[in-house]
Amino acid sequence: MDFLKSMTIAASGLRAQAGRMRVISENIANADSTPASPGADPYRRKVPTFTSEMDRALDAHVVSMGKIRPDTSDFRLKYEPGHPAADANGNVKYPNVNTLVEMTDMRDAQRSYEANVNVISATRRMIQRTLDILKA
């Protein structure tokens, strides 16, 4: 196996998962935000996508962040007639962010990130052992 190829593929995975965690963090941060005016839409959950690209220099497929798409599911409505963002019926629109789903996605992204770090660490150890053998 080519060491440079494996490290490049793992590094692309690190970048993709870091981007995914950034989007998830933004979703969590805006989970309870409300619109600025009555009848306006609140923050809409964002969903990261990934793409597979061919790195021609290494002749290997790498992963990268694709487009960040909006989640088209419905907003949550809460009856809060005294809220400044309440509509004529007293309902306030809240973002379509479920923090439990976001935390689960974050944990999945963290584990994928850690797996890529382990690949890079193992590759570095193999390179070091190869150099040690060549020195002897």
- Tell me how far apart the alpha carbons of residues 5 and 126 are, in angstroms, rounded to a whole number: 14
What pTM was estimated for this model as a whole? 0.87
Q: Count of residues for the chain?
A: 136
Q: From CA 45, how far away is CA 18, in angstroms rounded?
A: 18
Task: Name the phi and psi angles at 76, rounded to 5.
Answer: -80, 140
Look at residue 39 in the predicted model and tell me its pLDDT: 81
**Of the candidates 102, 84, 103, 109, the residue with the CA atom closest to the CA atom of residue 19:** 109
Q: Which two tokens stand for residue 67?
A: 């487009």
pLDDT of 94 over the 80 cut: yes
Dump pLDDT digits (tens) for 13-26. 999 999 999 999 99
Tell me what the mean pLDDT of segment 41-60 comes to. 92
Lowest mean pLDDT segment, chosen from 29-33, 55-59, 89-93: 55-59
Phi and psi angles of residue 89, each rounded to the nearest 5 degrees, phi first: -90, 0
Kindly write down the DSSP assignment for every residue of 4-44, as one continuous string.
HHHHHHHHHHHHHHHHHHHHHHHHHHTTT---SSTT-----
CA 136 to CA 127: how far, in whole Å?
15
Mean pLDDT of the chain: 93
Instruction: Report whether pLDDT(1) > 60.
Output: no
Q: Give the CA distances from residue 5 to residues 2, 9, 11, 126, in Å, rounded to whole numbers and listed in that order.
A: 5, 6, 10, 14
Per-residue pLDDT band for 58 (boundaries 50, 70, 90) equals confident
> Is the confidence at residue 74, as pLDDT, over 90?
yes
